[in-house]
Amino acid sequence: MKKTIFTVLLVIMGLSLTAAPALAAATRSVANIQQDVNDTFGTIAITTGLPDSTLEQIVGGVINVITGFLGLIALIIILWGGFVWMTAGGNEEKVAQAKKLIITGIIGLAIILASYAIAKWVVDTLFTVVGVPEVAG
């Protein structure tokens, strides 16, 4: 009885340890992978009724929306500083606070514009290196 159990276990271990052939697929180029991604986005667009967009257009759109939103916040800070200054009524503390708000908003706007330029450069360079046309936007 012990020999039978041992033999069965030995056979199962032997079968589980045998090497299966590696059915490796042929390597695919970046252009083929990019085409598959774009086809997938096209299929999703058809299924959901969304506009057909490429990966580059989606990345560019996300960058534009984020930097546009941050720019709007910086503009609101600048306008709020102007409002505080106009309603200060000669109070030096409020005028100083308003100047600080306006300077902060301008610095924030400069950082946002610089980050947009850097992000656009990085994305364009990345897509150029992998052989994808430039991002629109």
Q: What is the per-residue DSSP string for 72-112?
A: HHHHHHHHHHHHHHHTSTT-HHHHHHHHHHHHHHHHHHHHH
- Please give the model's pTM, rounded to 2 decimal places: 0.56
Angular region, 131: left φ>0, alpha ψ -120 to 50, beta rest = left
pLDDT digits (tens, 9 = 90+) for 91-125: 999 999 999 999 999 999 999 999 999 988 888 88
| Residue ranges of domains in the chain | 53-130
Res 10 pLDDT > 80: no
**Of residues 113, 89, 90, 93, the one with CA closest to residue 101:** 93
Residues in the chain: 137
**Of residues 61, 63, 39, the one with CA closest to residue 122:** 63
pLDDT digits (tens, 9 = 90+) for 21-61: 555 555 666 666 666 666 666 666 666 666 666 777 778 88
Query: What is the reported pLDDT for 135?
Result: 47
